Structure 1
């Protein structure tokens, strides 16, 4: 197939899709094939930008330098010095964590697990009720600031086959403690008004703030577990793919825009995770109806300035695409086109998040009623209503600064 598959969904596509997901193995929305291969983190698009000349462009260095007070400030609304200043300040806690082992080739939270700041207690608390312990962990996670918490089993399919030594961007061994049994997945909601200003450097503050939040939260929750006498490895983008774990943990469903749609916040959140051997009961995946909605909706693909998002049904990625996990049937973006647009912009772009019909405030009754339509048989009506609403309109950054 062409990659990405940029054609409109046909009825033939839809029937093939329905047939594909008819079996119970697809309950989590994750379908692997016999060609499945665990992902090498060296092939992550952001890592490739440092070593792969086919990814680099004249804008790449400027993109990374812009996070180090070397942005190309311009008069355009959303790209002024104070916009970059807020974005970069929002990343500060995450940067402190990720940079502390740089001399060892470890970028913690991104290309390596976060270091164990707390030793495992010599005395282990006996746990005879994993269900009660799961409830306790969720309560403690929320106490530290997580907005969503789900628990699933340790599945080594989604662990990177190798991590990256950031000194020379070579493959490095991706090791974890023996005997891990569970993954605690945490969701961190992004600021809705800042998300509404995408694309802008200002909007990047919504991303950076949650990376800083999650860095603190996973370290604290892991410390609690280690104080109980159990292993806990705090993790952000490192070590393994978080989206499959989030779906398996029942937090949401995978969407055309490459994000997990949650019933609480739609696509508007980041995920982190903790690998542990703490005895915990696990949550089940929840097929919500998002997949069926995405079958008829292409708002994210239509709005993508890089034309990086696919039309049509989920497909298995072409073997030539190093940054796409192999042997998984899913919607897959053209990551190279996406990243190069980011580099040109000098900030992250999440227009696809902003325009997603599920990007709503579900505290409001009207949005909860819309969600009920969208996740049921009236999804076409829900899409019709969304297209005729003002919901996805971009908020001008200057209006955000003015407190509009």
Structure 2
């Protein structure tokens, strides 16, 4: 569906509410970036957290934290790591603190685009070919761009620029493996995150190369350049939830997002308000399950607990310092809030699609009651045993 309005006009439909206190977010205040410069975040545990991704930390004993668990997790990150590290000597940690460098020049001759709607269909087909699970398109909106990016050599702020002529953002969703997500928190489960990042690194680079070969500008991007959640909401890929994740009707919360900034003429999608917000209003499973109580109870509020919170937006906001502190303690990422989310289901099954219809209806309390016994953790050793079983 064509979105011909200004970027701000569809905010309400996307569930976005800004106030006069809104400020673009400074990338240096992202909790992961702060771990490189902020002494209030840096600890021996954070050092061990980063070292564990190079197998330098002694693996913890116990189910899900053995050497092969860390080995699989770290192997899953390999493609993303190679791409990220290739220009680190220039201060660019690409995909995280800087956009991904283009390996393909823009073709000197543009392919004529008579119909932006048809071109959008083409891009969605190409995104599926390159293994993106979801694709939505929305207008460029500088509000969500970092006010400055970070040079990782000295953690100084540098301009966060994009090429001239960018008009659209292609937002891609990448599914995380459901069986691995079920084992959170564990180093093993981190392989679901790493595999998604490695896949999205390849996907955004290949789609961007395709567009550049058509003669148009395209900048591949992961966590860098701009906040991806507002773009995902505006592109119609899902709704924002209490657990700080985007809930999609296809994969629930099990998604990582990437994006491509482009000048290619494209039709824009519209947000899809389905009823997730109303469900989250009565559901607090993620907040109750969080070991360090980093997730909020109650209604969405403006602001947050620390400088890693976006200012001037009314939304559910986590305490990023508590959250990352727990990650550091684990020496791996935690997504218990994803695992216990009632929307974390296999929607290829008819009974889960039926549950979804109930959850997004006025009968949402019934859906929450039906979910009361779900979300338990699967043993990582059982995952290994199942993978070893002959087919």
Place the TM-score, normalised by the shorter chain, in its bin. Answer: over 0.9
SS in 2 for 1:402: helix
- The answer as to whether partners of 2:175 and 2:255 remain within 8 angstroms in 1 is yes
- Match among 86, 100, 106 for residue 92 of structure 2: 106
Q: Within 2, Cα distance between the matches of 1:329 and 1:99?
A: 36
Match of 2:111 in 1: 125
Structure 1 residues 146 and 342 mapped into 2: Cα distance closer, same or farther (>3 Å)?
same
Query: Where do 5+ consecutive residues of structure 1 fail to align?
Result: 1-22
Matches of 1:381 and 1:196 in 2, distance apart? 24
Asked if 2 retains the 8 angstrom alpha-carbon contact of 1:306 and 1:338, the reply is yes
Q: Check if 1:203 corresponds to 2:202.
A: no
Alpha-carbon offset, residue 72 of structure 1: 2.3
Could you tell me which residue of structure 2 aligns to residue 16 of structure 1?
Answer: none
Query: Which residue of the partner structure matches residue 10 of structure 1?
Result: none
Query: In structure 1, how many angstroms separate the alpha carbons of the residues matched to 2:140 and 2:11?
Result: 17
Match of 1:353 in 2: 338
| Structure 1 CA distance for aligned equivalents of residues 365 and 71 of structure 2 | 42
RMSD between aligned residues = 1.1
Indicate if the aligned counterparts of 2:10 and 2:271 stay in contact, CA closer than 8 A. no
> For structure 1, which segment, 24-33 or 176-185, has the greater mean C-alpha deviation from structure 2 after superposition?
24-33
Deviation readout 1:344-395 (Å, 9 max, x if unpaired):
00000000000000000000011000000000011000001101x3x31111
1:276 alignment counterpart: 262
Partner of 1:294: 280
Aligned to 1:43, which of 24, 29, 32?
29
Q: What is the alpha-carbon distance in structure 2 between the residues aligned to residue 24 and residue 242 of structure 1? A: 16
The partner residue of 1:396 within 373, 379, 388 is 379
CA contact (8 A) 1:71 1:84 kept: no
Deviations 1:224-278 (CA, angstroms, capped at 9, x unpaired) = 0000000000000000000000000000000000000000000001000000010
Aligned equivalents of 1:75 and 1:250: distance in 2? Answer: 43
Partner in structure 2 of residue 96 of structure 1: 82
Query: C-alpha offsets along residues 4-33 of structure 1, whole Å, 9 cap, x if unaligned?
Result: xxxxxxxxxxxxxxxxxxx97511111100
The list of structure 1 runs, each at least 4 consecutive aligned residues, that deviate by more than 6 angstroms after superposition, is: none
CA distance in 2, matches of 1:108, 1:179: 22
TM-score, normalisation: structure 2: 0.96
Cα separation, 2, equivalents of 1:25 and 1:222: 27
Following superposition, the deviation at residue 306 of structure 1 comes to 1.1
Following the alignment from structure 1 to structure 2, what is the Cα–Cα distance between the partners of residues 225 and 172? 27
After TM superposition, the structure 1 = structure 2 runs for residues 220-259 of structure 1, keeping only pairs within 5 Å, are 220-259=206-245
Q: Partner of 1:17 in structure 2?
A: none
Name the SS for the 2:33 alignment partner: helix
CA deviations 1:177-204 (Å, max 9, x no partner) are 0110000000000000000000000000
For these two proteins, the number of residue pairs brought into alignment is 379
Partner of 2:41: 55
1:138 equivalent in structure 2: 124
Separation of aligned partners in 2, 1:252 and 1:141: 18
Unaligned runs of 5+ in 2: 1-8
Give 1:75 deviation, angstroms: 2.1
Alpha-carbon distance between aligned partners in 1 of 2:283 and 2:56, rounded to the nearest angstrom? 39
Query: What residue is the counterpart of 2:5 in the other structure?
Result: none
**C-alpha separation between the residues in 2 aligned to 1:197 and 1:360?**
14
Maintained 8 Å contact 2:11/2:234:
no
Match of 2:293 in 1: 307
Say whether residues 1:70 and 2:56 are aligned partners.
yes
